Structure 1
Amino acid sequence: MAFPPPVIATSGPSGPDTPLVVLLHGRGSHEQEILTLGDQLPPLFSYAAVRAPITEGGGFAWFANRGIGRPVESSLRSTMDWFRTWLDEVAPTGRPVALVGFSGGAAFAGGLLLDEPSRYAGAAVLYGTLPFDAGVPTTPSHLSGVPVFVAHGAQDRVIPRDLLDRTWQYLTDESGALTTAREDQVGHGIAPAAVPALASWLTTILPR
């Protein structure tokens, strides 16, 4: 499937050597909404909020799915390839890149990281699930030594609980990732207290 060129919203310094934080919005949302998160994160880094390529209601989505949190493998592969074409242009190998995804964007960030762990300085999976059974490896120790930030909502009724639990278990144990994990007393949304924790995590994984 052919997708349109990416629509990108940016903030922060834009030097080619400045670490890049890519912000990935949730299903049915858009790049301007997730860009507001960058306003609360360290001003040392470049922020690029990417619009997902699939039209979904009044917004956009990262992949077709078989149910909430369950991507169609061929769709996820197509959009990940599309994303990598853009990323390789703006951040050639050597420029540190961190992924921060919320909800559907968390699944997409997780898919990108699982597909090529060495490409990224780390990934934040916020209030979402990894894309299990969607063509990307989730084998033991696959993310060995890779920094990951995961946050879940204790009252989340959008993402199926079995997928949240499976994501938590994999990232904190089986994957081998260097995982910072938190569960917040919220539903399906970013807890205010998680934002400074995310900001602190970014400063530990990206050069300043």
Structure 2
Amino acid sequence: MPSSFRCTSHDHGHVPAARRRDSEAPLVVLLHGRGSTEREILDVAAHLPAGPEYAAVRAPIAEGGGYAWFANRGIGRPVAGSLRATMDWFRTWLDEAAPAERPVILVGFSGGAAFAGGLVLDDPTRYAGAAILYGTLPFDAGLATGPGRLANLPVFVAQGEDDNVIPRELLDRTWDYLLSESGATTLAQRQPGGHQLTAPVVRHLGDWIATGSPR
């Protein structure tokens, strides 16, 4: 099992408490889906490669017995002001938890994928890579998505062929953008199944983290 730690939130949406570690090893930040918690996605770290440090962060907005990264105006469509507020909140934590020279890889599932996408679109040079798992980039939420915005950024995108949670138009738009106009170095996979992580995707994610993501 890889070395890992959990970042947990205080009440009322405060920035999560983190154990700062002076290390040159990549920090992999796991971002859970809407209505979930950091405990669920942290389990994925047990199946990822040793070497990096793993952190699972709890989103700041209470929703459905769990937490969310932003208010939305429909599935996969963040409210721009809400997304901006939580991205700023996250960056406050990250800049304390990991010095700028330390590689940071984002791994987001579903709503966490949209949040990870927003973070890298907002500041592509801050991150060493991003995994967009079973989710969409946050299009039309006030972030730049022009040609070359993610130039040379390692990205892993995985989708379910029968995903009926995220609108197909957004999945397709994400797929097409990451594989062409974005300029990202993208590894893309569509797997049989719906809106859930599968063992093959987690295995490929681990390979990507181990061999291809940090730049």
Shorter chain as denominator, the TM-score bin is over 0.9
- Is residue 51–residue 60 contact of structure 1 (8 Å, CA) maintained in 2? yes
Q: Does 1:205 align with 2:203?
A: no
Alpha-carbon offset, residue 191 of structure 1: 1.7
Provide, for residues 106-154 of structure 1, a one-character-per-residue CA deviation record: whole Å limited to 9, x for no partner. 0000000000000000000000000000011111111111100000000
Q: Give 3-state SS (helix, strand or coil) of 1:39's partner.
A: helix
User: What runs of 5+ residues in structure 1 fail to find an aligned partner?
Assistant: none
- Is residue 154–residue 214 contact of structure 2 (8 Å, CA) maintained in 1? no
- 124, 141, 148: which is aligned to 1:141? 148
Aligned counterpart, 1:61: 68
The TM-score normalised by the length of structure 2 is 0.91
Supply the AA of the counterpart residue of 1:58: G
**For residues 198 and 29 of structure 1, what CA distance do their matches in structure 2 show?**
21
Aligned-residue sequence identity (percent) comes to 63
- 160, 173, 177: which is aligned to 1:153? 160
Supply the AA of the counterpart residue of 2:175: W
Q: Does 1:5 align with 2:15?
A: yes
Q: Does 1:121 align with 2:128?
A: yes
Alpha-carbon offset, residue 15 of structure 1: 4.4
Alpha-carbon offset, residue 17 of structure 1: 2.1
**For residues 41 and 135 of structure 1, what CA distance do their matches in structure 2 show?**
33
Give the CA RMSD over aligned residues.
1.6
Q: Give 3-state SS (helix, strand or coil) of 1:113's partner.
A: helix
Q: Does 1:132 align with 2:132?
A: no
Runs of 4+ in 1 over 4 A off after TM superposition: none
Aligned counterpart, 1:192: 199
**For residues 3 and 50 of structure 1, what CA distance do their matches in structure 2 show?**
12
- Is residue 124–residue 148 contact of structure 1 (8 Å, CA) maintained in 2? yes
- 67, 77, 91: which is aligned to 2:84? 77
Alpha-carbon offset, residue 40 of structure 1: 0.4
Residues matched between the structures, number: 203
**For residues 76 and 45 of structure 1, what CA distance do their matches in structure 2 show?**
27
